[in-house]
Amino acid sequence: MTSLLLTGATGAVGARALTLALADPRVERVVALTRRPLADPDPETRVVLDNRVVDFQALPEDADWWQVDAVACALGTTRKLAGSPDAFRRIDHDLPVRVGELARAAGATSYALVSSVGADAGSRNLYLRVKGETERDLRACGFPSFTAVRPSGLYGGTRTRQENLGDRLAGASRVLSPVLPARYRPVHVDLVARALLDAAISAVPGEHVLESETL
Ligand SMILES: NC(=O)c1ccc[n+]([C@@H]2O[C@H](COP(=O)([O-])OP(=O)(O)OC[C@H]3O[C@@H](n4cnc5c(N)ncnc54)[C@H](OP(=O)(O)O)[C@@H]3O)[C@@H](O)[C@H]2O)c1
């Protein structure tokens, strides 16, 4: 039975991953790190939900809830919302990596990240570069199992932030989906959430990349 630490549980992918985790027979406990409280789970659920409302800029190093088996990270923002390239990197890179460092130090053996199609630490594009750097630095944390899930544009689910141009383009490209290369076709948040959760829980040893067309 797996104890899972989840970030981004108020977002489109993370909320779906939380719902799936709370219904998953392989999971015994979910520690959800959020900026604001989650709604109470279905009272019928067998899985314990431990919602910790935290200051992500000052994550407590010695909290006992870091002691989990697996981490699933669906946290992220946009450059526009963050306000600057540096602020974007502090969220999309520094927070997932810090969570990884602290959970690994407490014994977690598996980490699954929602990254992005085209993630590349050498890219000239800020978003793709930051996503690639995040993958790279999480690999360096030494998790026995690490998975980068690399979706193309997402559709479905409920975003907590206002939709941006990227979201609208993802929506529009659904019309073109049949003629797009498979890797760039929009993908439903449910498929991303399922892949994220399965990767974190199954903890297959090694480093894995799940490209969008495989989700
Ligand atoms: N949208 C797309 O088309 C797309 C495509 C490829 C990859 N991705 C990646 O997929 C991931 C999930 O995307 P999504 O669409 O599910 O995002 P979303 O709906 O906007 O949710 C983002 C989550 O991250 C949290 N978050 C944002 N800024 C934070 C901060 N400073 N501190 C702590 N938590 C913070 C949000 O918490 P609050 O509710 O508190 O704001 C929310 O839980 C992101 O990493 C994104 O880059 C998205």
Tokens 């630095």 map to which residue?
137
Residue 14 CA, ligand 1 centroid: distance in Å:
8
Who's near 39: CB < 8 A, 6+ residues apart?
none
DSSP 94: I
- Angstrom distances, CA of residue 145 to CA of 30, 109, 113, 191, 208: 19, 6, 11, 20, 8
* CATH number (domain holding residue 40): 3.40.50.720
Ligand 1 atom 45, closest CA:
76
107: left (phi over 0), alpha (psi -120 to 50) or beta: left
Q: Which residues line ligand 1 (CB under 6 A)?
A: 8, 10-14, 35-36, 56, 74-77, 91, 95, 114, 116, 151, 153-154, 159-161, 166-167, 170
Number of domains in the chain: 1
Q: Which residue in the list 80, 111, 131, 155 is annotated as catalytic?
A: 131
Mean pLDDT (10-residue bins), the chain, 215 residues = 96 97 97 96 93 97 97 96 96 98 98 97 97 98 98 81 62 71 90 98 98 95
Q: Which atom of ligand 1 is nearest to the CA of 167?
A: 3
Range of the domain at 70: 2-214
Q: How far apart are CA 67 and CA 147, in angstroms?
A: 19
CB 104 within 8 A of CB 142: yes
Predicted confidence at residue 178, as pLDDT, reads 75
Q: Which residue in the list 80, 127, 155, 184 is annotated as catalytic?
A: 127
Q: Is 80 designated active site?
A: no
Q: Is 127 designated active site?
A: yes
